[in-house]
């Protein structure tokens, strides 16, 4: 029995897992609102208090850069330290990994129906792979292929410089550069808050008109969810433009990541937004932007691209890593 967690800026998923027939089996799971707790140890202790199992090993996938067992969460007022967790949870060994690294490990626990295919790529594609996930923030990770198995590793490319691909995106960069007073990262355009940034840009620069009913709904609801909803339904032309721009930028960022990691084995689109806008991702706009890399277009056209539909992938990945450390998890291959 191991303890695992997927810790994001919005939600903290916690679970006890055991391994059965070569796969992780969930014993009990719970989703908590991260900001309801002053720390990860407080959230984990609340979970353990309700579900008392003896564990010796735990792993948590955390949004943010992990350095020597410690991470300052960028989207939470938490400083997370593995040694503190070991002491306060009474667990022999606690491992902290980046949440996208957890997503990459979690791919080993998924089945074919956990994916939606955007591009099949060439049959039997092998080589490095990559994961890019837009949600509360933008995460990226790689999987190094050694010829037999995959080795996931963390990255923080979501905070690197946003690169405009056309005149409209250059205008967007300029708008955000002034709005934020400097650096414009990919996360500013590819995330839940980023989707609203795109909407505001289109509205404020006169690219579309915001109806009063929409303005009211944006005030009371989750802006990203509202924009996605009406962008898919077509009820708001401004939301349609925002979602189309988001999809185009998402495709470009995914293609960039494929080139950086030479991800001939596949690119996986994770995070909470992709499954919600899947019909838009399946339109030509995404893959056209993915492949629009000049002389290396033919390389990109051969890469399999799939959307991860299982929202527990990072949690499964944290569990997979914990099981690896107790010698019971199979390699990713």
Position 136 scores a pLDDT of: 87
For the chain, percent of residues with pLDDT exceeding 70: 98
Evaluate whether residue 207 is within a structural domain. Answer: yes
Supply the range of the domain harboring residue 15: 2-98+313-325
The verdict on residue 184 lying in a domain is yes
Check pLDDT > 80 for residue 22.
Answer: no
330: pLDDT strictly greater than 60: no
Check whether residue 280 and residue 145 sit in a common domain: yes
Span 138-158, pLDDT tens digits: 999 999 999 999 999 999 999
pLDDT (0 to 100) of residue 23: 81
Is pLDDT at 328 greater than 70 in this prediction? no
* pLDDT score for 327: 72
Question: What is the pLDDT, as a whole number, of residue 185?
Answer: 98
Question: Per-residue pLDDT tens for 259-296?
Answer: 999 999 999 999 999 999 999 999 999 999 999 999 99
Report the pLDDT value the prediction gives residue 204, as an integer from 0 to 100: 98
Question: Do the domain assignments include residue 104?
Answer: no
pLDDT digits (tens, 9 = 90+) for 189-220: 999 999 999 999 999 999 999 999 999 999 99
Instruction: Tell me what the pLDDT averaged over the chain comes to.
Output: 94
pLDDT-based confidence at residue 87 (cuts at 50, 70, 90): very high
Residues 90 and 121 in one domain: no
User: Is residue 122 domain-shared with residue 268, that is, in the same domain?
Assistant: yes
Could you report the per-residue pLDDT of 28-64, keeping only the tens digit for each?
999 999 999 999 999 999 998 888 888 999 999 998 8
18 and 67 in one domain? yes
pLDDT at 263: 98
Please say if the pLDDT value at position 258 is more than 60: yes
Tell me, letter by letter, the H, E, C secondary structure of the chain. CEEEEEECCCEEEEEEEEEECCEEEEEEEEEEEHHHCCCHHHHHHHHHHHCCCCCCEEEEEECCCCCCCEEECCCCCCEEEHHHHHHHHCCCEEEEEEHHHHHHHHHHHCCHHHEEEEECCCCCCCCCEEEEEECCCEEEEEEEECCCCEEEEEECHHHCECCCCCHHHHHHHHHHHHHHCCCCEHHHCCCHHHHHHHHHHHHHCCCCCCCHHHHHHHHHCCHHHHHHHHHHHCCCHHHHHHHHHHHHHHHHHHHHHHHHHCCCCEEEEECCCHHHHHHHHCCHHHHHHHHCCHHHHHHHHCCCEEEECCCCHHHHHHHHHHHHHCCCCCCEC
For residue 331, pLDDT over 70 is answered with no
Total of domains in the chain: 2
Whether residue 299 has pLDDT greater than 90: yes
Average pLDDT estimate for 125-131: 96
Window from 9-23, 220-234, 288-302 with minimum mean pLDDT: 9-23
Residue 131 sits in the same domain as residue 264:
yes
pLDDT at 329 > cutoff 80 = no
pLDDT tops 60 at residue 132: yes
pTM of this structure: 0.93
331 part of a folded domain? no
CATH number of the domain enclosing 11: 3.30.420.40
- The CATH number of whichever domain residue 148 belongs to comes to 3.40.367.20
pLDDT score, position 257: 98
Average pLDDT of the residues in 91-112: 95
What pLDDT is stored for residue 20 in this prediction?
82
Residue 332 belongs to some domain of the structure: no
Q: pLDDT > 90: what percent of the chain? A: 88
Same domain, 64 and 125: no
């Amino acid at each position: 029995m191991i303890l695992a967690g997927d810790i994001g800026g919005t939600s903290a998923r916690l679970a006890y897992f055991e391994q059965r027939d070569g796969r992780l089996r969930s014993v009990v799971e719970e989703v908590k609102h991260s900001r309801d707790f002053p720390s990860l140890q407080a959230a984990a202790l609340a979970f353990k208090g309700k579900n008392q199992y003896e564990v010796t090993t735990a792993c948590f996938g955390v949004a943010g850069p992990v350095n020597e067992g410690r991470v300052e969460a960028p989207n939470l007022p938490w400083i997370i330290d593995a040694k503190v967790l070991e002491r306060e949870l009474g667990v022999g060994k606690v491992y902290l990994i980046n949440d996208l690294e957890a997503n990459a490990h979690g791919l080993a626990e998924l089945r074919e129906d956990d994916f939606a295919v955007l591009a099949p790529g060439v049959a039997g594609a092998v080589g490095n792979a990559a994961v890019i996930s837009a949600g509360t923030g933008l995460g990226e990770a790689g999987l190094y292929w050694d010829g037999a198995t995959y080795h996931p590793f963390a990255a923080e490319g979501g905070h690197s410089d946003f690169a405009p691909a056309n005149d409209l995106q250059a205008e967007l960069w300029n708008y955000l550069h002034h709005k934020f007073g400097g650096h414009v990262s990919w996360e500013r355009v590819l995330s839940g808050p980023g989707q609203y940034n795109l909407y505001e840009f289109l509205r404020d620069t006169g690219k579309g008109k915001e109806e009063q009913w929409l303005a009211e709904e944006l005030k009371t609801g989750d802006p990203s969810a509202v924009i996605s909803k009406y962008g898919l339904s077509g009820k708001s032309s401004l939301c349609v433009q925002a979602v189309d721009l988001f999809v185009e930028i998402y495709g470009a960022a995914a293609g960039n990541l494929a080139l950086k990691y030479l991800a001939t084995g596949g690119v996986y689109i994770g995070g909470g937004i992709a499954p919600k806008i899947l019909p838009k991702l399946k339109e030509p706009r995404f893959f056209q932007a993915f492949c629009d890399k000049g002389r290396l277009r033919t390389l990109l056209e051969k890469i399999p691209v799939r959307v991860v539909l299982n929202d527990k992938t990072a949690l499964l990945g944290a569990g997979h890593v914990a099981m690896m450390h107790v010698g019971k998890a199979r390699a990713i291959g």
